[in-house]
Structure 1
Amino acid sequence: MEKIPPPHMPETLPLPSARFAVIDAAQLAPEHWDDLPSRRMVPDAYRDRAELFPILVDLDELDETQRVAVLDRDANCAAQSGKTYLMALLDARGTPASVLTHLTRRMLVRRPDGQEDILRIYDPLVFRHLRWLLSVEQIDSLLGPIGTWHWREPDGTWHSHSRDADQPSIRPLRLTPAQWPSLLRMADLQRAIRTLADDDAPCAWRIETAQQLDQLLADTESIEGLNESEDRALHALQALRFGRTIHQHSALLHRLGMARNGETTYSSACADLDAIRLQKFADELQQSH
C-alpha cells in the first residue's frame, strides 16, 4: 500500500479558517464547553457512555464572542493544566449532522476477533500515527467530506492533512490484518513516546521514531516477562537508544529473568540503570564482537 508521506513544516493556523472544531469534552469540566452549540461525537452503540467522547462544534454557529472564548479556553487549558481543548479543526462541506454521522461511523471498527472497538481518530496523538499506518485510500475514506484535518502536535504547532481525492470518498474504512497489531500497540507506543519526550522531545515526536518504536514494541510481544505496558515501553526504548543487541548483555538478561520468574517487574528491575550504565553495557557488547 502507498503510505502517507511525513508531515511538512508546521504552520500557524487561525481558528476562523476551519468550519468545525472537535473539543475534548471528556476531559474538561462542562463550564468549558456547555455554553456552545455542539453535538456529541459518539457512535450509537456507545450512547450509554457518551460522556467519554468529544463534542463537534460548528464554528459557523458561533458569534464573535463565542469564537474568542473558544480561543481563550484553548490557551488557558494548555497553560494551566496541560490538557487539550481543541483536539482537531476540520475544513468540511455539508451539514453538521452529515459530518457527525461520517465521523461516528469511521470511529467504529471491527477487530480481527470480531468485536467492535473505537478508533480514536479525534485524538491528535492517534491521528498523527494513522497518517503513516494507513494507505492514501484509507485516509481518504477516513476523511470523507472533510477536505483538510488540522491537529496540534505536542510542541504546540498545528499541522494539516488534506484529502488526496478531489471528491469525498464513500468507501468504507477497512483495516487490514497487517495493520491491526500496530493499532493494538498504540497505547504502548504513546507511553514510550511520552517517556522519550522527557529526555529528547525532538526525537520523540518524529514520525520515523514512532515507526521504529512500533517495530521494537512488536518484538516485545514474544518476550516472556514483559507483562505491563511500562515494561514493554522501557524494553523498546532501551533498544532504540542503545541498539537491539543491548538485551544480550548479562545484566539485562538477569533482570529479564527476574521479571519472567515473577520476582519483580522489568521496569522495577531496571530502576537502578541510567543512560551512562546502559551505554557502558552497549560498549562492552561491541568490544566483545
Structure 2
Amino acid sequence: MDQYLIVEPDNGRVDLGTAPRMYEIGEIVPAAMPELKGVMPMLYAVEHPEPQLPAIEAIAARDLQEGLAPRVCALIETNASSETLMRHISDTIALPREPEGYSVFRFYDPRVARNLGWVLRPEQLSLMFEPVQRWRYFSGGGWLTVERPAVPPTERLSPSADQWATLRRLHLIEQALKSIRDAGESVDERTPRQLDALFTKGARYRLAGEDLVVFAVQGLLVSPNLDRHPTVAAALQSGQTSSYSEITALWTDENWAQIAQEAALYA
C-alpha cells in the first residue's frame, strides 16, 4: 500500500532535513475551480517512509505545539494510483452547492477532518474516502487514524442544510476549543458537537463573532441551559449598551457559581 502526504504550502515549507525529499505529485486543483491554481495544497508521495515519517511528524508536532496553522495535513494510505488519488481529492474539494456553483471543502485540513465523523453520515464519509484505505492526521497524542467506513458510499456528497451550517461553524468550534483548553479545562470527543448546539442556540439570540464564541464556551463550562437563567437572559436582550461578552466579563466567580447552581435546575 502506497503512502501520500497532503501539505499546505501557504502555512510553511516541509523540509525533511537529511531525509530523502518527497516526490512531488502536484498541486491539488479542482477541475471545477481552476481559478484556485496557486493557492491549493500539494500532494507528495512518501516513498521512503522509514526516514521520512519521523521528519514529517517532527514538523507536525512543532506546528501544533506552537499553535501554528498545520502545514502537514494528511497522511494517506491507498492502493490507488497517484492519478486516481489526485483526481478524487481535487473533485472532493469542489463541493457542489445549491442552486449552483461550488464551495471549497477543506476536508483535508486536520482541523476539519477531526470533526467530520460526527458531521457527515457514514455513507458520505465512505464516498469522501473512496480510494483511500486509511487517513491519518496529527494530534497532540500523535497520528490519529481514520479507516474508510465499511458501508456503500452515497452517490454524491450533498450535505444537508444543517450539515452545511455546521461545516461553516467548524472554525468557531475550533476557536472555542482552544479557549477551553487554554483555561485548563478538559475536552473529549463529545465537546465539538456540544459546542455546535450552543452556537446554534446563540445565533438565535443574534449573537455573532466574539459574543457568540463567549456564549458557547460559557454554556459548555457552566450549563447548556445558561440562557434560561434570568441574569443571563437579561444580558442576551437586544438593545444593550454593552456587548454580551462585555457584560458577562464583569461577573465575578461568585456570580458564575450562583448562576451554575441555579441553571442546573433548568433541565
Q: 1:244 to 1:73 in 2, by over 3 A?
A: closer
What SS does structure 2 have at the residue aligned with 1:282?
A: helix
Kept in 1, the 8 Å contact 2:60–2:138? The answer is no
2:205 aligns with 223
Choose from 173, 186, 191 the match for 1:189. 173
What SS does structure 1 have at the residue aligned with 2:225?
A: helix
Q: 1:114 to 1:221 in 2, by over 3 A?
A: farther
Q: Structure 1 CA distance, aligned partners of 2:37 and 2:16?
A: 17
Unmatched segments (≥5 aa) in structure 1: 1-16
Unmatched segments (≥5 aa) in structure 2: none
1:177 aligns with 161
Q: Structure 2 CA distance, aligned partners of 1:285 and 1:81?
A: 34
Choose from 221, 227, 230 the match for 1:247. 227
Matched, 1:130 2:108: no
2:256 aligns with 278
Please, which moves more after superposition, 48-57 or 120-129?
48-57
TM-score normalised per structure 1: 0.77
TM-score normalised per structure 2: 0.82
Choose from 138, 143, 164 the match for 1:158. 143
Give the Å deviation of 1:197: 1.6
Q: Structure 2 CA distance, aligned partners of 1:157 and 1:178?
A: 31
What amino acid does structure 2 have at the position aligned with 1:57? Y
1:19 aligns with 3
Choose from 42, 48, 62 the match for 1:55. 42
Kept in 1, the 8 Å contact 2:79–2:131? The answer is yes
Kept in 2, the 8 Å contact 1:19–1:90? The answer is yes
Q: Structure 2 CA distance, aligned partners of 1:199 and 1:18?
A: 41
Q: Structure 1 CA distance, aligned partners of 2:132 and 2:56?
A: 21
The structure 1 segments of at least 4 consecutive aligned residues displaced by more than 6 Å after TM superposition are 30-33
Give the Å deviation of 1:29: 4.6
What amino acid does structure 1 have at the position aligned with 2:249? A
Q: Structure 1 CA distance, aligned partners of 2:253 and 2:45?
A: 48
What SS does structure 2 have at the residue aligned with 1:132?
A: helix
What amino acid does structure 2 have at the position aligned with 1:148? R
2:104 aligns with 118
Q: CA RMSD in A?
A: 3.2
Give the Å deviation of 1:72: 4.7
Choose from 70, 73, 81 the match for 1:84. 70
Aligned ranges 1:230-241 → 2 under 5 Å: 230-241=210-221
Give the Å deviation of 1:79: 5.3
Q: 1:286 to 1:216 in 2, by over 3 A?
A: closer
What amino acid does structure 2 have at the position aligned with 1:239? G
Aligned residues: 263
Kept in 1, the 8 Å contact 2:134–2:147? The answer is yes
Q: Structure 2 CA distance, aligned partners of 1:121 and 1:287?
A: 40
Q: Percent identity?
A: 21
Give the Å deviation of 1:146: 0.2
What amino acid does structure 2 have at the position aligned with 1:55? M
